[in-house]
Structure 1
Amino acid sequence: MKFSTAAIMAFPAALLLAWQAAAAPGQGPDAETRAWWTITEALSNDRMEGRDTGSAGYDRAAQLVADKFKAAGLKPLGDKGSWFQPVAMNEIAIERAGIGVGDRPLVFLQDITVDPSNAMPVTVDAPLAYRGYCGAAALGDVRGKIVICHGVNRPGLPGAAERIAAVKAAGGIGLATIADPGFAIEPPRWPFAYARSVTLANASPDTDGFLRLRLKADALKKAIGDHGPDAGDLIAKGSAGEPLPGFDIRESFHATFTVKRRQITSSNVIGLLPGSDPASTDQAIVLSAHLDGYGFGTPVNGDGLYNGTLDDAAYVALLIRVAEQRRGKGYRRPVIFAAFTGEEKGLLGSTWFVAHPTLPRTSIAANINLDQLRPIFPLDLLTVHALDDTSLGDDVRAVANGMNIAVQHDPEPARNLLRRSDQWPFLQAGIPATAFVFGYRPGTESERIYRQWYRTGYHTPLDDPHQHIDWKAAADFNRFFKTLVERVADQEAAPAWKAGSSLRPAGH
């Protein structure tokens, strides 16, 4: 039986993934891929409770990684001769919230959420205004108001930072951003698992009381009521980038927040495979993936556990398999295996490691990071971050060409993926780094699967060990990665920046 694209998109998420698994042709995993997946399952089964930063489930997963690193012959490279580098953090969480406009309630985490901050108000009663895209010229008098703005990702329209700056400058006390349903590549995901903010404990306290809210497009009608333009028409025009009006809402916005603050500690897990060449000891290659996930959150179809199998347990598992297959035999250069914490909370573990490395920072030559990888369709095209900025891009091209895999620059720059994973702190520190995304060609079945996963799987409970995997694609990427690591770690020249790179910090 064949289904139209429209019919497929209408399937409930769980049924769609079940249909994909049943309909997908091909073989099961080969022995090596099965070994990788066995570790993936161990890291993302229900016992690990989604590996939320600072949780007992995360600590169990971290101990498992440390045990695997030890058995593989790595040396501990954490603090005080251990496998662990503890990272102290402060967490602010909204435990409960009552939110509405007039007598119309907005359901917390389903219709609306808030980005918690240290100085945010715990009670709000303020006028509400709708101002389209919230360009500075369109705001008018919004003093003391919460302002509703469309969170579009279109050239020529205000971006997130511009909207916040404009509303603040016009006197607004908060911004409710409509999560843009027109951003089709990475559409909004509702419900939100929770409303939490985690920062490094040594970060400067946030003294900005500006309220940052996110509003579901379908909830706009609840927010504006029946006194303004049709909410559905506003969403359609906003998603298309068409001109929008501005108007005030008659009823006030009101909210009460129950806030919980706590200090937590969560550890990076770091191991070292010493190099074989004494002349290359100051050219370590960091291989990284993030161990943390979302943990427990708002249930989706009755499931409240966000296992985080592909994001990113599978690629911590790949680091373990690389170490296991080396059996303690070093490459020319030292290789650091790093499972970072707090990536989902803002790249916290990698930021801490780069600022407080467990070996001299000057001896770190490069980072190859694993995240944003979805082996759910054939691998014939790979998006490569910082492809032309360092010699790592040349290494990627050479390995990919040998496997008949094309490479490309990021075709979706509006998603800002380069800065959203653990390669970014290394690049900011002047250390050559790269990372990868499975690419697709427009209009193909691969694109359909990719987009559907972002609608139903990304940061949801459906990213679990039971989802459909393209086993050949998984094996192909794993082989690509192992070959790339061997090339970078064994070749004569260490990774280096290229002249003219726009990412290269001054002085590097």
Structure 2
Amino acid sequence: MRFVVVACLAALTLAAGASPASAQTAERGERWMSRMAVLSDDAMEGRRVGTPGYDRAAAWVVGEMAALGLKPGGVDGGWYQPIRFVEQAVDQGASSAELTVGGATRPLILPADAVVGGGRPLPATIDADLVFVGYGLHIPSEGYSDLDGVDLTGKIAVFINGAPTGMPTLTLTHARAQRTAGLMSRGAVGTVSLIPPQADAARMWTGVTRGAARPGFFPDTGEAPFAEIILHPDHSAGLFAGAPKSLDQIVADARAGARMTSFPLDARLAGRFTATSVSVISPNVIGLLPGSDPELADEYVVMTSHLDGYGIGEPVNGDAIYNGALDNASGVAAQLDIAEQLIAARPRRSVLFVIVTAEERGLLGSRAFVANPTVPRESIVGNLNYDMALPIIPLTGINVLGATESTFGDHARVVSEQMGLPLTPDPFPAENRFIRSDQYSFIAAGIPAVAFKFGFAANTPEAATIRTFNETHYHKPSDDLATTPIFTEDEIRLHDFIIGLALRIANDPARPTWNADSIFGK
């Protein structure tokens, strides 16, 4: 599917008599498309973490940053922040487990009866009592907790993979994303996740077993071993023999609006696990634009986009290279255009352009940066993230994910009015896109952040176009520049919006803050 750049750029040829402003927009659009074409070319092999294709793409980004005049912002005076990861494949067949309930012990056949996850360091063995913890959620902003007064030290936490009704979707998604970390902090040594009784439980289990065949991936930070187990729906109810409530009653009460009750189970799980691990090193690429104001130059606005993609995978229509043009070569190319304009604008604060690795493996590159940034973490004032803005519809508005959560929104409204580009609400709030890309790594650390999408309303032709792309091309080999028409000049207008917002954040003496009613500031 190698893309011919000349053919694509023909559409950008300037009309006679074009104004200087439109000529500059077209030239910037041409450079953006050219950069995106390089990054999504077959030669980059889909930019999968830990592959030569990713490393080639990273080296190319370094060359572009240097040519623009950015300074190295990585470790040891260089452009890179190398991150060490572990790719872990659990051998389900060679692993074993047994479950004791009410004194009766029976084996669990893996992966038929249960699946052991590989996304965290896995202990060689485990043998611990089970404690039911409802949904396993702690949401103090809503006065809700399944964990208050529960002793999890050395125990395996059993939770229903769901959430209470009646709470804001964003609040629930944030709490679920933090669930395992919260259980670990309370001393749990593992989890057993239950699929609640429902009509599509069998379909959900099919997805679980399919995922069991894929290796897990996590940062090599020396985190304590932790076992994550998903139990087949047919075996979930048996855990509650002799418990204060049956699983059916717990689920029925929850659906009626009752709160979960946590309690110890008369059950114990023992397991012996076999896994193979491979060390993978992949870098974030970091460029620095020093601030122009001596009083603010030691503070940083961080711009992020992820470089990694899905690499070479299962062929679709004979094509095995997942080029990732819009996800997210488009974002990396956008950051290079944004950097070029910000260099000329000389912002007061410094700006870090962090092109992160391993987003597709769980936001791991940005998480690693936030955990160990190349500048003091307290000096980071905010994050602006670009991930797959989807310039495949006209730009009639901008969806700033997170605008309602912090004072970023106040600045965004000013830029919106100046540019005549209305801010549009998220048309797909149930998808929780605000916390599904690299901005969430900053949010989880208490740093205000936003992300950007082309704006549109639900149930419109534009929404249908986006849905079609997501269903047909997202995370597939057909996400390339030969497939989908691109609104190039509209894309550059989005860049100008991001530039205007970044400059307001960089030049304002006050740092961005969370709004008083935001869960992320609490």
TM-score (norm. length: structure 2): 0.65
Q: Describe the shift of the 1:97–1:315 C-alpha distance in structure 2 as closer, same or farther (beyond 3 A).
A: farther
TM-score (norm. length: structure 1): 0.67
Is the 8 Å Cα contact of residues 117 and 227 (structure 2) preserved in structure 1?
A: no
Over the matched positions of the two proteins, sequence identity in percent amounts to 36
Q: What amino acid does structure 1 have at the position aligned with 2:298?
A: D
SS in structure 2 opposite 1:269?
Answer: strand
Q: What amino acid does structure 2 have at the position aligned with 1:285?
A: V
SS in structure 1 opposite 2:279?
Answer: strand
Q: Describe the shift of the 1:276–1:153 C-alpha distance in structure 2 as closer, same or farther (beyond 3 A).
A: same
**Which deviates more, 37-46 or 379-388?**
379-388
Q: What is aligned with 1:200?
A: 219
Q: What is aligned with 1:458?
A: 474
State how 1:348-387 maps to structure 2 within 5 Å: 348-387=364-403
Q: What amino acid does structure 2 have at the position aligned with 1:481?
A: I
Output one character per residue of 1:356-388: Cα deviation in whole Å (capped at 9) or x when no partner: 111111221111111141111112232222212
1:265 is aligned, of 263, 281, 305, to 281
Q: What is aligned with 1:48?
A: 44
State how 1:130-141 maps to structure 2 within 5 Å: none
Output one character per residue of 1:126-174: Cα deviation in whole Å (capped at 9) or x when no partner: xxxxxxxxxxxxxxxxxxxxxxx99999979999969x99xxxxxx977
Q: Describe the shift of the 1:121–1:498 C-alpha distance in structure 2 as closer, same or farther (beyond 3 A).
A: closer
Q: What is aligned with 1:305?
A: 321
Is the 8 Å Cα contact of residues 72 and 328 (structure 1) preserved in structure 2?
A: no
Q: Describe the shift of the 1:271–1:436 C-alpha distance in structure 2 as closer, same or farther (beyond 3 A).
A: same
* Distance (whole Å) between structure 2 residues aligned to residue 459 and residue 193 of structure 1: 19
2:73 is aligned, of 73, 77, 80, to 77
Is the 8 Å Cα contact of residues 194 and 297 (structure 1) preserved in structure 2?
A: no
Unaligned runs of 5+ in 1: 1-13, 15-25, 99-107, 123-148, 166-171, 182-187, 216-240, 242-256
Kindly indicate whether residue 54 of structure 2 is the aligned counterpart of residue 58 of structure 1: yes
Deviation at 1:65, TM superposition (A): 0.9
Deviation at 1:438, TM superposition (A): 2.2
Q: What is aligned with 1:91?
A: 87
Deviation at 1:324, TM superposition (A): 3.0
Deviation at 1:473, TM superposition (A): 2.8
Q: What is aligned with 1:478?
A: 495
SS in structure 2 opposite 1:344?
Answer: coil
Is the 8 Å Cα contact of residues 289 and 316 (structure 1) preserved in structure 2?
A: yes
Q: How many pairs were matched up? A: 401
Q: Describe the shift of the 1:295–1:387 C-alpha distance in structure 2 as closer, same or farther (beyond 3 A).
A: same
Deviation at 1:47, TM superposition (A): 0.9
Output one character per residue of 1:386-444: Cα deviation in whole Å (capped at 9) or x when no partner: 21222211121222233332223434332222221111121222222111222322332
Q: What amino acid does structure 2 have at the position aligned with 1:479?
A: D
Output one character per residue of 1:100-147: Cα deviation in whole Å (capped at 9) or x when no partner: xxxxxxxx9xxxx9954468899xxxxxxxxxxxxxxxxxxxxxxxxx
Q: What is aligned with 2:519?
A: 503
Unaligned runs of 5+ in 2: 2-9, 14-25, 95-110, 125-159, 181-190, 201-206, 234-254, 256-272
* Distance (whole Å) between structure 1 residues aligned to residue 379 and residue 193 of structure 2: 45
Q: What is aligned with 2:303?
A: 287
2:505 is aligned, of 488, 493, 507, to 488
Is the 8 Å Cα contact of residues 151 and 179 (structure 1) preserved in structure 2?
A: no
Q: What amino acid does structure 2 have at the position aligned with 1:376?
A: I
Deviation at 1:267, TM superposition (A): 0.5
Deviation at 1:192, TM superposition (A): 8.2
Q: Describe the shift of the 1:331–1:118 C-alpha distance in structure 2 as closer, same or farther (beyond 3 A).
A: closer
Output one character per residue of 1:425-479: Cα deviation in whole Å (capped at 9) or x when no partner: 2122222211122232233210110111110111111111222233243232122
Q: Describe the shift of the 1:206–1:466 C-alpha distance in structure 2 as closer, same or farther (beyond 3 A).
A: farther
* Distance (whole Å) between structure 1 residues aligned to residue 85 and residue 335 of structure 2: 25
* Distance (whole Å) between structure 1 residues aligned to residue 380 and residue 285 of structure 2: 17
